[in-house]
Amino acid sequence: MFKQQMLNWGNQFNICCLLDNNNYPSACHQYEALLAADAIDVLELPAGKAFDALLHFHQTQQDWLFGHLAYDLKNETIPGLRSDNHDGIGFPDMSFFRPRIVMFLRQQQVHIGGINLSQDEALTVFRDCLRMPVAVITPAAPVLHPLHARLDHGAYIRAVKDLQQHIRRGDCYEVNFCRENYMEASGVYAPALYSQLNALSPAPFAAYYKLAHRYLACSSPERFLQKRGQTVISQPIKGTSRKDSDPATDQLLRDQLYHSPKERAENIMVVDLVRNDLSHTAVRGSVHVTELCGIYSFAQVHHMISTISAQVSSQTPFTSVISNAFPMGSMTGAPKIRVMELIEEYEHTRRGLYSGAVGYITPEGDFDFNVVIRSILYNASDNYLSFQTGSAITFYSDPEKEWEECLLKADAMTKTITC
């Protein structure tokens, strides 16, 4: 209930970010929910020198930072790449803000802080939150037009078959291939969008993010990267199965996912990619796979998740850890550079914030970022609403089953905007 009040209170500001683990059990979670609101300073940059600027911004402010890394920062981490596809949302490649208020829930306690914030001021913020409605009050019903796709069924199947030809020629081994659904929509109230999506598909890396007229409603099950002290972990997802209401059938689906040669091969491939990414900044010999191909259940699907950990030197800039692993391997494929070229060629939509990351950086330089998937993005100025879904294309992929996986992952978003 209080999380909804936090959302309603934070949404009054031009910039805010709510991160919620939806009480999903994990030893890696530090907070039940985090809210940052009311920007004091903002860093907003295109790909080029963004990571250097972020490091300087953090060193100058020495404060909490919240924000995002868009997928198209690939053009900075891998010089020579481009992003020329259609972009209807318009999130910048990188944006971080220093909030006036940071609020977090942990162990049934509310903590409120901010630069030079007195105890009385913090108490006022808490009371203002308590005065907020305990539900989202939608101002008016939105006007929604038909849902469209930039890749229909036929175009998607042809693209998958063409990508498999690249795999047969040895250009790559696995490509994360995505397609966009979009509609014209006016009068959308973004907090209601997020609350509806979160109710349908609660996830451990859920996020509501407002950046002026651009919004993200995210129900992500995946962590990109977390740093706590000198320990870094990544938890890529590769491998998906539907759920079933019958317990026996559902357990069978879990078992089939765990033993699937195709799904395990995809997961192990991305694990090797992440190990390589982390090795660039890790202390020698410290990169370890702490869990391989674990099966985890979420509201809509079962997923196969692995955990890779590493130790980094206290002298290593936190931005180096992030930039050497970005974009995340679960959303690209292998080898990274070639598949990102193919993604640009075969997808019809600039990914932008989708398959990027949203999260926070502490004053000490620790951080935690999700992977922006299972998400609805909305540009209120242009009345443009969008969501993307994808799957891993390999030599053994059945194009029709990959199409069905895209639809399965889109289910909660589709229901959110059509119900």
Give yes or no: 415 in active site. no
> Which one from 76, 174, 180, 222 is the annotated catalytic residue?
222
- Tell me the pLDDT tens digit for each residue of 178-190: 999 999 999 999 9
pLDDT in tens, 159-216: 999 999 999 999 999 999 999 999 999 999 999 999 999 999 999 999 999 999 999 9
Specify the pLDDT at position 419. Answer: 66
Question: Of residues 210, 227, 238, 409, which has the active-site annotation?
Answer: 238
Q: Higher-confidence residue: 272 or 108? A: 272
Tokens encoding 365: 């330089």
CA distance 160 to 390: 11
Convert the pLDDT of each residue in 27-86 to its tens digit. 888 899 999 999 999 999 999 999 999 999 999 999 999 999 999 999 999 989 999 999
238 catalytic, yes or no?
yes
pLDDT tens for residues 282-296?
999 999 999 999 999
Strands (E), 281-382: 288-297, 301-311, 333-334, 357-361, 367-370, 375-379
CB atoms within 10 A of CB 108: 6
